[in-house]
A and B are shown apart, each in its own frame.
Chain A
Amino acid sequence: MLSMSAEIILEIEDLEIDLLRRGGPVSIVRGVSLDLHRGQRIAILGESGAGKSVTARCVAGILAERRFTVRGSVRVEGVEFARRTRKQLRPHRGKVALIFQDPTRTLNPSMRVGRQITEALVHSGTDKRAAEQEAIELIGRVGIADPEQRYHNYPHQLSGGMRQRIVLAIALALKPDILVADEATTSLDVTTQAQIMRLLSGIIDETGMAMVLITHDVALAASVADDILVMYAGKIVEQIPAIDVISSGEMPYTRALVSAVPAMAEGSELPVPIPGIPPDPAALPGGCPFHPRCSVVLERCHEEEPPLLGLGDRRAAACWHAELRSLSTAAAISQGAR
């Protein structure tokens, strides 16, 4: 578990990202702020289109500047990443490593995997001759048997799980301070997912790297992260310690996400779908963007968008109910509303 005294290595302040398209810019990230400490694991949870991946790409400094405009500030170890060109960021980019969902598209199919790792090692300053030895060590470290042999394989000769391990080895070769895993285990089998997540936790404990896990799987987020940030329509709508997310989410959206997961409880019950679909960022509903799908709408939800309100204990929520509840002293009703 993190100690709050740990050094802050990522600081995002009022990040706003617009997607430039014909017909005008569309606001897809609308004011995200967060701090990430060394060794901390956070998960960003939300449906497709919530702005999770764009935020992650901005943190990694790989947002295509022609298609997006960025306002606000993203500082990685004090270095400003927002509003910089890709070229300006090149010397700093190794600080943040990004792993995507599909390892097949991340790896170069015509290059032996070992070479792809040494390429990253050389980029982060390892001597060319030492790089091969180190790459073999990395392949072993991410849990692949016969690293010397695998070094010479092409991606197509490896299984999906092994390819994702190679991607992880490339990411680690950069000795990043922050690892961003964007749905990195979504396409893998549960058994492989468990292996890779265990491996990642081990590496984090060892190196003090911080992790940002981007996922729509509540259960995975709860089991891996320290803290969870729930995103909806380009904003953080709830911040909550991971151990509490399943039982005591404040925001109706968080609770809806939890109930949408098929439960493994006694006597099978079907998951409860969230009605409707996520809003189109170009035409957000007025007031709270979740209100058309919310089961406990107040009058106020139609009119005014709730701010993210700190609730103490590493918790915050953007919901008028949370505000009402924090105003009233009766803590007994805090679980209610359903």
Chain B
Amino acid sequence: MTMASLTPEESPPDSPRGDTVLEVRGLSQEFAVRSPKGGLRKAHVSALAGVSFSVSKGETFALVGETGSGKSTLARAIIGEPAPKAGQIFLNGTETTTLRGPALLASRRAVQMVFQDPFTALDPRWTVEQLVCEPLQVHHAGTRREQLMRVREILSQCGLPPGRYLERYPRDLSGGECQRVAIARALAISPDLVICDEPVTALDVSIQAQILNLLAELRDRLHLTYLLIAHDLTVVKALSHRVGTMYLGKLCEVGGTATVFERPAHPYTTALLSAVPPRPGFKAPTEPIILSGEVPSPLNPPSGCRFRTRCPIAQPVCAEVVPEAQEVGRGHSVMCHFPFEIHDVVASRSTAAI
């Protein structure tokens, strides 16, 4: 497999760098659940609370965070399933949250998804050809003949020689091959944005590497734009230009992947990075910070900064004032009252231990 070249060193996101494919402004999502106290009262889970970011053409933007941080909810809100409670989503400059009918269908063509488990994402009774052709049929893209040509083209781009794969069923394929079919299906109608939700989590290491290379190669060749959701930070490091850390429905840090991974400003990002087992050539930015406890319930998120209950450097102000996003570097913004201070605390702790 050819190695796709990467140019991760970000031109800062605030500089004009071609078109913005996706812009999200103040997105909030709530779900009604039965009150944990019982009775008929409804409680609301605040799954996303005012998330804003944008993704430019050709860029890969990654979302990281623990389970329950709202990464997948955000992805689903972008495709409108279900539609967000508040906020705006712009695709290629058009607001999609207000679209209805044929315009909505057309806008959906612009965003496609690749999911975690390729076996459950593919209908077991359909052949590879039918699976990859379906999006083309749904969106009436070209004549039947053109559609079949397109299926062959995209399959071979995804590393599946059409002659050998067209007539096969998902059960005849390995996990890696299934994921390639799922990627081909997402790319068939040339979307503007591809949302990859944990695209390699369910795969074996060696296959993971194959799929990551394929995604990078396709991105460079077809100028694709990815919104990557992953909890494995090494995957994020390998594939993304910019990264956003999510915690309890808030986007608490956004910046260039290299910048953020080298010197994270938010204590949560720092803790996430420090939890990665040592890899070849990787040194965590700090000593391991083992976060105590679990992510608090989004039914009743902590006041002020949502991370304060697990934050090693929380101060009284964190309980009272919700931190606003502040710029701490070029294209690097963070929602924290004490950006970068975690590094001093960890450093002094480890010197004190000597």
Binding site for B on A (CB under 8 A): 47-48, 145, 159-162, 189-195, 198, 216-220, 222-224, 246-247, 256-275, 277-278
Contact = CB atoms under 8 A, between A and B. Distances in A.
B207 A277 contact: yes
Contacts of A218: 205
B1 A219 contact: no
A176 to B, nearest CB: 25
A190 B233 contact: yes
Contacts of A192: 66
B272 A190 contact: yes
B352 interface: no
A205 B1 CA distance: 45
> Which 10 pairs between the two chains have the least Cβ-Cβ distance?
A264-B282, A265-B281, A273-B209, A262-B234, A274-B206, A271-B209, A273-B210, A194-B275, A262-B238, A219-B277
Interface in B195-237: 204-210, 212-213, 216, 231-235, 237
Name the residue among B238, B277, B278 with the largest chain A CB count within 10 angstroms.
Answer: B277
Contacts of A189: 66-67, 231
Given A189-B66, A189-B67, A222 B206 contact: no
B206 A256 contact: yes
- Residue from B206, B208, B271, B295 whose CB has the most chain A CB atoms within 10 Å: B206
Contacts of A247: 280
A191 B271 contact: yes
B87 interface: no
A264 B276 contact: yes
Contact of A264 (B68, B212, B233): B233
A254 to B, nearest CB: 12
Interface in B62-88: 66-68
Nearest to A223: B277
B291 A191 contact: yes
Contacts of B293: 145
B66 A191 contact: yes
A272 B209 contact: yes
A261 B279 contact: yes
Contacts of B280: 246-247, 258-259, 261, 263, 265
B238 A269 contact: yes
B174 interface: yes
Contacts of B291: 191, 195
A260 B206 contact: yes
Contact of A194 (B176, B239, B258, B290): B290
A332 to B, nearest CB: 22
Interface stretch (B2-10, B48-56, B321-329): B2-10
B288 A274 contact: no
Given A263-B237, A270-B238, 12 more contacts: A160-B67, A195-B291, A217-B205, A217-B277, A267-B8, A267-B258, A268-B257, A273-B206, A273-B207, A277-B176, A277-B207, A278-B204
A113 to B, nearest CB: 15
A160 to B, nearest CB: 6
Contacts, number: 142
B55 to A, nearest CB: 18
Nearest to B64: A190
A214 B276 CA distance: 18
A194 B238 contact: no
Given A190-B276, A223-B277, A270-B213, A47 B294 contact: no
B212 A262 contact: yes
A99 to B, nearest CB: 18
A220 B205 contact: no
B338 interface: no
B4 A270 contact: yes
A219 B209 contact: no
A266 B174 CA distance: 33
Contact of A261 (B3, B67, B234, B288): B234
Q: In the complex, which of the residues A48, A194, A270, A274 has the most CB atoms of chain B within 10 Å of its own CB atom?
A: A270
Contacts of A222: 277-278
Nearest to A187: B201
Given A270-B3, A273-B1, A263 B279 contact: yes
Nearest to B238: A262
B31 interface: no
A265 B295 CA distance: 29
B275 A191 contact: yes
Given A47-B206, A191-B275, A220-B277, A270 B212 contact: yes
Contacts of B4: 270
Nearest to A218: B205
A194 B291 CA distance: 9
Interface string B160-179: 00000000000000111000
12 contacts: A47-B206, A160-B67, A189-B67, A190-B233, A198-B290, A260-B206, A261-B280, A262-B234, A263-B281, A264-B234, A264-B282, A269-B6
A223 B59 CA distance: 33
A203 to B, nearest CB: 16
Contacts of A217: 205, 277
B119 interface: no
Interface in B278-333: 278-282, 288, 290-291, 293-295
A9 to B, nearest CB: 26
A47 B209 CA distance: 13
A193 B275 CA distance: 8
A160 B275 CA distance: 17
B235 A262 contact: yes
A268 B258 contact: yes
B340 interface: no
Nearest to B294: A159
A270 B216 contact: yes
B209 A262 contact: yes
Contacts of B90: none
A191 B272 contact: yes
